[in-house]
Amino acid sequence: MVDYKDGKCKSNQEDKDFKHCTIVDNTICLGCSLGYELGEDKKCSTTKYCAESSDGICISCIDNYYLGLDFNCCDVENCIYSENYICKECKDNYYYNIKEKKCIIGENNLKNCKLGDSLCQSCKDGFYLNGTDNLCYSNRDYGPFYKCNETSSYSGECIDCIEGYYLGYEDNKCSLMEDCIISENENKCLKCDQYFCLDVKTGQCIYNDDIRDEDKKYYFRCNRTNEEGTKCEICDENLSLDDNGLCIDNIHCEEKNADGSCKKCKNEKGRTYCSNKIFGCVDISLVKNCLECDNLLNFFSCTKCMDGYTLKNGFCF
């Protein structure tokens, strides 16, 4: 800060009376650092309409303004959290009435409500909004509405989860696992979405359209692993399970080698397949700009590229 009394620059981090102050004249702060406001006590705090602050934190507000738990001053009585001086949440047993712009005691259908007018529009943390009666119910206990944010007014099922949770579209439950469509609890999946394999041991969904990691080759085109999570147990549709627990496409194989591996694949319905020593026939769309490929475990090794592309280290450039 600049002290006009002696014209020198001094630290605005050590002296609590001038913390976050940028200009001082006769021991009075005239301006604050970016993000701080000058209060009635001539000190800098993080909130406007502050009457008294300590170390940059407001501890009391000017008349007709109220201090919330976020240390912001808001002109709404009983408000505990505000954003840009607009109330976002009231204290317990109150809800913010959007129409009247004040915190009102929540009775009847507005109990545990966070925002609303004549009907509740959103509930406080730990509750979900029931779309059929606009009441707020607890979402803490694991069940159909665990971590649910809102339910449908038609089906009564959960249609939206709280932040950080994902909705399974088959069971309409919220879990911590993305790509899970049926869950046993928030950390264990029972069925994964398309293109994902359920690892039964961990209860997690693993992307099953990538075979660049040889240690995870049993996930490729697998729907569900065994209980140990060491090999596939159920393959995607039209694939067969071999003795090593891998999913093989023999349907599109036109010609085989002496060892039984596929030598040449047949194409159908506008889709091109290439032979792979381990997985039989694999959709060539997995290998960008490639016409023929082999040994896809080796980071998608292409053997022939489209016109205009050059083959280098199994890739087309």
Query: Which of 154-163, 220-229, 231-240, 254-263 is predicted with the least confidence, judged by mean pLDDT?
Result: 254-263
Which pLDDT band, with edges at 50, 70 and 90, does 195 fall under? very high
pLDDT number for residue 262: 83
pLDDT number for residue 269: 76
Per the structure, the count of domains in the chain is: 2
Q: What percent of the chain has pLDDT over 70?
A: 91
Last residue of a domain, one of 75, 100, 118: 75
Last residue of a domain, one of 19, 41, 75: 75
pLDDT number for residue 107: 82
pLDDT number for residue 13: 57
Rounded mean pLDDT, 286-307: 71
Rounded mean pLDDT, 166-184: 96
Q: Is residue 186 part of a domain?
A: no
pLDDT number for residue 283: 81
Residue 11 reports pLDDT greater than 70: no
Please write the tens of the pLDDT for every residue from 56-97.
888 999 999 999 999 999 999 999 999 888 898 999 889 999
Q: Is residue 21 part of a domain?
A: yes
Which pLDDT band, with edges at 50, 70 and 90, does 299 fall under? very low
Mean pLDDT, the chain, as a whole number?
A: 87
Nearest 5 degrees, angle CA 5-CA 7-CA 10?
95
Q: Is residue 5 part of a domain?
A: yes
When computed from its CA atoms, the radius of gyration of the chain, rounded to whole angstroms, is 31
Q: Is residue 239 part of a domain?
A: no
Please write the tens of the pLDDT for every residue from 111-152.
899 999 888 999 999 999 999 988 999 999 999 999 999 999
State the Cα–Cα distance between residues 208 and 14, nearest whole angstrom: 57
| Residue the block writes with tokens 């240690």 | 215
Q: Is 180 or 252 the better-scoring residue by pLDDT?
A: 180
Q: Is residue 12 part of a domain?
A: yes
Q: What is the 3-state secondary structure (H, E, C) of the chain?
A: CEECCCCEECCCCCCHHHCCEEEEECCEEEEECCCCEECCCCCEECCCCEEEEECCEEEEECCCCEECCCCCEECCCCEEEEECCEEEEECCCEEEECCCCEEEECCHHHCCEEEECCCEEEECCCEEECCCCCCEEECCCCCCCCCEEEECCCCCCEEEECCCCEECCCCCCEECCCCEEEEEECCEEEEECCCEEEECCCCEEEECCCCCCHHHHHHCCEEEECCCCCCEEEECCCCEECCCCCEEECCCEEEECCCCCEEEECCECCECEEEECCCEEEEHHHCCCEEEECCCCCCCCEEEECCCCCEECCEEC
* 163, two tokens: 């932040």
Q: What's the pTM value of the predicted model, to 2 decimals?
A: 0.72
State the Cα–Cα distance between residues 39 and 153, nearest whole angstrom: 48
Q: Is residue 166 part of a domain?
A: no
pLDDT number for residue 281: 85
Residue 42 reports pLDDT greater than 60: yes
The boundaries of the domain holding residue 24 are 1-75
Q: What percent of the chain has pLDDT over 90?
A: 48
pLDDT number for residue 2: 47
Q: Is residue 183 part of a domain?
A: no
Residue 17 reports pLDDT greater than 80: no
Q: Is residue 224 part of a domain?
A: no
Residue 259 reports pLDDT greater than 90: no
Last residue of a domain, one of 47, 75, 103: 75
